[in-house]
Amino acid sequence: MKTFGMDADFLKGECGFCGKVLKIPIQYAVCDTNGYKLNPPVKCACGQTHNYSHGIKTVVDYSRLGSKSLLINCQACNKPISGDSTACIHCGHPMKQPIGFWGIVGAIIIAILIMSFL
C-alpha cells in the first residue's frame, strides 16, 4: 500500500495490487520514518491485507496548524506542526515547548539578581 495523502480523520492510500483507494482512520496509523504502521491491518476488496503504508506524501492543512511562520518539525515523524502544539497531530509524539522570549528575559533577570547578591 502506498500513502498519497491524509486529512484530519483519514490516511489515504492506494492498494499496490489492484490500485483501489483505501481510507484508513488516522487513529489506526502510527507514523514512522518510512510510512505508517497500520494496526489493525487493513483488508482491501481484492483480498490483500496491508499492515504498512509506504511513502509519506501527505497533504497538510496549514489552516489547522496556525501561521506557517510558526511551524516546526516533529522530532519523531519530521512533519510540520504548529510551534505551540503540545503533541504532534500526525503521530501523537509529545513536543518540548521552546523557552520563548519571556522565558529568556526571566532567566536574565534572575541571573542579574543572583549576581547582585554575590
Q: What is the pLDDT of residues 32-49, one digit of tens each?
A: 777 788 888 888 889 999
Where in the chain are the domains?
A: 2-59, 62-118
- The mean pLDDT of 70-86, rounded to a whole number, is 70
Q: Is the pTM value of this prediction over 0.75?
A: no
- The confidence score (pLDDT) of residue 112 equals 92
The one-letter amino acid code at 108 reads I
The one-letter amino acid code at 46 reads C
Provide the mean pLDDT of the chain: 76
Asked if 4 and 14 count as a contact pair (C-beta separation under 8 A), the reply is: yes
User: Is the preceding omega at residue 25 within 30 degrees of 0, hence cis?
Assistant: no
- Tell me the pLDDT tens digit for each residue of 47-73: 999 988 887 644 444 455 444 445 677
Q: Does the CA dihedral 26-32-35-36 come out positive or negative?
A: negative
Asked if 13 and 3 count as a contact pair (C-beta separation under 8 A), the reply is: yes
Residue 84 CA: distances (Å) to CA of 66, 76, 103 = 9, 16, 14
